Structure 1
Amino acid sequence: MNHKFIDFKLNKEILKALNNLGYKNPSKVQEEVIPRLLNREDIVVKSKTGSGKTASFAIPICEKIDINNINVQALVVVPTRELALQVSEEISNIGRLKKIRCSAIFGKQPIKEQIASLKQRVHIVVATPGRIIDHIERKTINLDNLSYLIIDEADKMLNKGFIEQIDIIFKNSPNKKVIGLFSATIDKDIKYVCDKYMKNSSMVDIEDVEIINKKQIYEEIIKVEENDKYEILKKLIYLENPKSLMIFLNTRERVVKLYSQMKKDKFLVRELHGDMSQDKRIYVIKDFKEGKFNILVSSDVASRGIHIDDISLVINYDVPKDKENYVHRIGRTGRKDKFGKAITLVSNKDEKYINEIIDYIGYDIQEKEYIEENEVKKGKIKFEEYQRELLKNKKVRKPDTKIHSEITTLYLNAGKKKKIRVMDIVGAISNLDGIVGDDIGVIKVEDLCSYVDILNHKGEGILKKYKEISIKKK
C-alpha cells in the first residue's frame, strides 16, 4: 500500500514541515506506526536502524501536541546523549512551524540550564534515563499532563541495566498515557516492560529486508592478519576513494591509536569516543556533517542515532563482538535511497564473531580475495587530491542551509537577567507593523539573550525595518 503523509490527515503545519524536510512518502515503519499512535494505541515496534522510526513517533506526537498547554505532553527516553540531541533536533524540525518546543536533557550538562529550559513552555522532552529521574526527584519536571511516553532503542537501554530506571519513569507518569516501545530485538527484558505496563499493545515487526536492503548496502569481508590491518586499511581507502568514511573500532584505546596513526599519515581525520566531552563530540559530528573532514574514526558511540545521509563507506576495523552492533554500524551508509558499502576486516580471532553475525543477518557476506595494487596507486592520487579540495573549501565559510525558508530567527540581546519573559517578547513583537500572533513562533529566553522565530516569511521585513525594538522600556 502506497500511502502519502496527507493520508494521515495531519495538521497543515506538520505537512509543510515534512515537505521542507524532504520527506516524500512514508517508510514501512511510518505507515504502520503513525496511524496507531494517532489512534492512541500502545505499540511495540521491532525495527532496526535506518528505517525512519524517529519520524514514525515524532510525527504523531507533534500532531497531538496542544501548543496552548504549557506542560510537558510527551517524553522520549533514549540511551545516549548523542541520540537525545539527534531525536530532539528531528522532533523540533517537524514541529517547528506548529510552534512546538522540544528540549533535550541528559547528563554532563548543567542541570540549572535544564531547569530554566523546562520552565519555558516545553511540550516535548527527549531525555536519558538518569537525568530525567534526577528531574523527577527534584520536582523540576511535571509529568502529570503526559500523553505519550516513548522508549527508544529499548534493547540497548535495558541491556545496559536501565530497567530499574525505566520502572521509576513509568511509576512517576500518569496511567492514562500512550506507550511506544521501539527496539531492534525483543528479549526477556522487553517482554518484562510489555507485560507490566502494556497490557493491550499491538506488535509491529518490520522485516530486516526493509531496512538493510542488500542492493543498497554492498557488504564485503577481508581476511587479514592483525599486524597487517593498518596497511590494508590504507589500501582500501585509496581503492574505494570514499567521499566520506566511518571506521569503527571496539574500544576507546584502539580509536585513539588508529586516529594518531592516520593523522600522522596526513589523512583528514577526527576521532569520536565516549571519553570525550559532550561539547567536543557535538562539535566533531557537526564538522563531519558539514564536510570539514572526511574520515571519522569511532567507537560504537556513533553506531546509533547519528544520521548523516552521505556516508559512502563504512569500514569495521574491528569486528563487533555484539552482532547487533554490526547492523547498526553498517546502517550509517546506504541511507535514504542512497547506495553504500561496508567492509569488515576479519583476523583469526574474529572468526567466531563474524560467523555469529552471518547467522544473525541470515545471509553470507562476500569475501574480497585480493586488492589490485595498480588501482590502489591510481586511487591514492585521486583521494589525496580530494582531501586537498576539502581543505581548500574548509577555509571558505558556507552559508547555513535553512530547512524552513519561511522562518527567520531573530536574536535579541536581552534575557532573564534583564527580567525579560516570553510574554514580554510576544507583546513587543506583535505590536510591530504587519505582525500578528500567528507570525510569532518558538521563543527561547536565555540568561543574556533571547531567540524568536518569525514565521510566514515576515522576518526579513522586520530585520530591514527595525535595527532594535523596545521590550519593557529596555
Structure 2
Amino acid sequence: MNNKFTDFKLNKNIIKALNNLEYKNPSKVQEKVIPKLINKEDTIVKSKTGSGKTASFAIPICENIDIENTNIQALIVVPTRELALQVKDEISNIGRLKKIRCSAIFGRQPIKEQISSLKQRVHVVVATPGRIIDHIQRKTINIQNINYLIIDEADKMLNKGFIEQIDIIFENSPSKKTIGLFSATIDKDIQYVSQKYMNNPSMVEIENHEEINKKQIDESYVKIEEKDKYEMLKKLIYSESPKSLMIFLNTRERVNKLYNQMKKDKFLVKEIHGDMSQEKRIYAIKDFKEFKFNVLVSSDVASRGIHIDDISLVINYDVPRDKENYIHRIGRTGRKDKFGKAITMVNNKDEKYINEIQDYIGYEIKELSDIREEKAKDGKIKFEEMQKKLLKDKRVKSVPKKVHSEITRIYLNCGKRKKIRNLDIVGAISNLDGIEGKDIGVIEVQDLCSYVDILNHKGEALLKKYKEINIKKKPVKIKRDNQNQ
C-alpha cells in the first residue's frame, strides 16, 4: 500500500480508511500538525483554506479515540452549519472502519433530535458555539471528559463576537485536554484565547496560498461595464465550457436575480445564500457535489468550508469587498492535486478593491482581454451537450458512490419507540450465521428505525440470507440503506 500516511504509525483501520478516501500524500499542514496533535501538544495553526487542515485534526482525533469509552472524547467548534456538516462527514469517513461515531449539532435543527443522538454512544461532536452552549446549559451534553478541543476557523468565529461563547465552552471543559486552534490570521482575539487557555502551544504557519494559486489556479480578470456583465458571463462560460462552475456575488438579492436570469436561459443552475433554509442549502450543495446540476450561484456563504473537489471554474461576478474572501472564493477550485480557473469581472467602481486584493496576495492578476467569438460559439455547443447529458443522468436513479466498499449499511424497521437499544441490535446480529461482534460497526438508533454498518464485506451475504431477523423476540425487517453508504 503506497500511502505516506503510514509514516505517522496510525491504526490500521485509519490507514485503510484514508486509502479508501484516496488520501495518499499528506499536505504541508498535515505533515506538521498530525504528529503534534497525536502527541497531545497544544497547537496554533495559521493556514489558508484548501490546505487540508480538517484532516490534520480529524486524523489525530480518530487515532486517539477509545471506542469502548462512552464519553464524548473530542469537541470541534466551527462558525457555520455548513462547515459543521463538512467536518462531521470527514471525521465519520476517516473513523468509520474504527467504529467511531461523530455527531454534528447546530442551530435551526430540532434540538430533540440532537438530544436523542447525544444519548447514544458518541465519540466526537462537531458544533456551532450557540448550540453547544444551549446543550451545556440544558445539561444534555457533558464535555467534562473530552481529550481534544479544536476551534476551527477561529478568526471568523471571534470576529463575529463569539469570544464570550468560546470562554463558556472552555470553562465547561476539563483543564487537562489538547487544544488545537486553526485560523487564517493571528490577531489579538486569537492571542487572548491562546494565552488564557493553551499550554505552551506550538505554532505552525503554512503561508502557501500564493504558491498554490500560481501553480494550480489560473487567475485572471476581465474589465466590463455593469450593464454588459450578463452577456460577458455567458461568453466566459461558453469559452471555458467548465464541467462545474461556481459564480459568486456580494449580496443575496444579486444572487437571486442572476439565478433567475440563468434559469430563464435554461442553465442547469441552483442558488445558495443566507436567506435560504438550512435544509435547502444542504440539498443544493449535495446535488452540486453529485453533478445533478453544474452551475451554483452563491453569496459568500459558500466561500468557506465547502469541500467540493471537482470545481473547474470560479467566476467572481462581483469583486469581493473583503480581500480575504477573494482567497476563499477562488479556493473552491484547484483543490488537492487538481487544476482550476478563476475569472473576476471588474468594472470602474471595482478598481480600488481589485488593487487591494492584488496587494494582499502579493502578485498581479493578469487581464483577460481577448475572448474569441468563435471559441465561445463552439464552446456553447459543447456546454449545452454537457448539460443535456447531466439532465439525462439525473433521470436515472443513481446509487451514491461508496467510499468504503467493505461496509454495507443496513436498515432495520425498529427503533427507540419499540424500546430497542444498541446492545439489543449487537446481540441479535452477532448471533446470525457468519457474523461476529467485530463485523458490526457504527449503530444509529432512531425513533422508528435503526441503521447499522456491517463491516469486513459481510453485509452482502447477510442481506442475501436474511430479509427478517428477531430482535427481543420480535421480527424486524432488514434491507440495504442506499441513501447513506
Normalised by the length of structure 2, the TM-score is 0.96
Aligned to 2:144: 144
Number of residue-to-residue matches in the alignment:
473
2:216 matched to 1:206?
no
SS of structure 1 residue aligned to 2:345 = strand
Alignment of 1:152-163 (within 5 A): 152-163=152-163
8 A contact 2:81–2:107 mirrored in 1? yes
- Kindly state the Cα deviation for residue 399 of structure 1 after the two structures are TM-superposed: 2.5
Q: Residue type matched to 2:384 in 1?
A: E
8 A contact 2:422–2:443 mirrored in 1? yes
Aligned to 1:264: 264
SS of structure 2 residue aligned to 1:305 = coil
Alignment of 1:356-375 (within 5 A): 356-375=356-375
Alignment of 1:66-77 (within 5 A): 66-77=66-77
8 A contact 1:135–1:141 mirrored in 2? yes
Deviations 1:315-361 (A, max 9, x none): 00111111111111101001121110000011111111111111111
8 A contact 1:50–1:211 mirrored in 2? no
SS of structure 2 residue aligned to 1:32 = helix
Unpaired runs of 5+ in structure 2? 475-485
Aligned to 2:438: 438
Aligned to 1:301: 301
In structure 1, C-alpha distance between the alignment counterparts of 2:186 and 2:353, rounded to whole Å? 21
Q: Residue type matched to 2:206 in 1?
A: I
Q: Residue type matched to 1:449 in 2?
A: C
Aligned to 1:191: 191
Q: Residue type matched to 2:420 in 1?
A: I
Deviations 1:176-210 (A, max 9, x none): 01000001111111111111111400100012247
Aligned to 1:454: 454
Aligned to 2:478: none
In structure 2, C-alpha distance between the alignment counterparts of 1:83 and 1:209, rounded to whole Å? 20
8 A contact 1:239–1:379 mirrored in 2? yes
Aligned to 2:116: 116
- Kindly state the Cα deviation for residue 134 of structure 1 after the two structures are TM-superposed: 0.4
8 A contact 1:407–1:459 mirrored in 2? yes
Alignment of 1:127-142 (within 5 A): 127-142=127-142
Deviations 1:59-112 (A, max 9, x none): 000000010111110000001100000000000000000000000000000000
Aligned to 1:51: 51
In structure 2, C-alpha distance between the alignment counterparts of 1:200 and 1:296, rounded to whole Å? 44
SS of structure 1 residue aligned to 2:443 = strand
Normalised by the length of structure 1, the TM-score is 0.98
Aligned to 2:282: 282
8 A contact 1:212–1:331 mirrored in 2? no
In structure 2, C-alpha distance between the alignment counterparts of 1:433 and 1:385, rounded to whole Å? 51
- Kindly state the Cα deviation for residue 473 of structure 1 after the two structures are TM-superposed: 1.3
Aligned to 1:246: 246
- Kindly state the Cα deviation for residue 212 of structure 1 after the two structures are TM-superposed: 2.5
Q: Residue type matched to 2:250 in 1?
A: N
8 A contact 1:48–1:184 mirrored in 2? yes
2:379 matched to 1:379?
yes
In structure 1, C-alpha distance between the alignment counterparts of 2:4 and 2:210, rounded to whole Å? 18
4+ residue runs of structure 1 moved beyond 4 angstroms?
Answer: none
Which segment drifts farther, 395-404 or 247-256? 395-404
In structure 2, C-alpha distance between the alignment counterparts of 1:267 and 1:3, rounded to whole Å? 41
Aligned residues: CA RMSD: 1.2
In structure 2, C-alpha distance between the alignment counterparts of 1:386 and 1:56, rounded to whole Å? 36
In structure 1, C-alpha distance between the alignment counterparts of 2:115 and 2:449, rounded to whole Å? 17
In structure 1, C-alpha distance between the alignment counterparts of 2:213 and 2:324, rounded to whole Å? 16
In structure 1, C-alpha distance between the alignment counterparts of 2:191 and 2:229, rounded to whole Å? 41
Aligned to 2:339: 339
8 A contact 1:51–1:210 mirrored in 2? no
2:312 matched to 1:312?
yes
Aligned to 2:90: 90
Unpaired runs of 5+ in structure 1? none
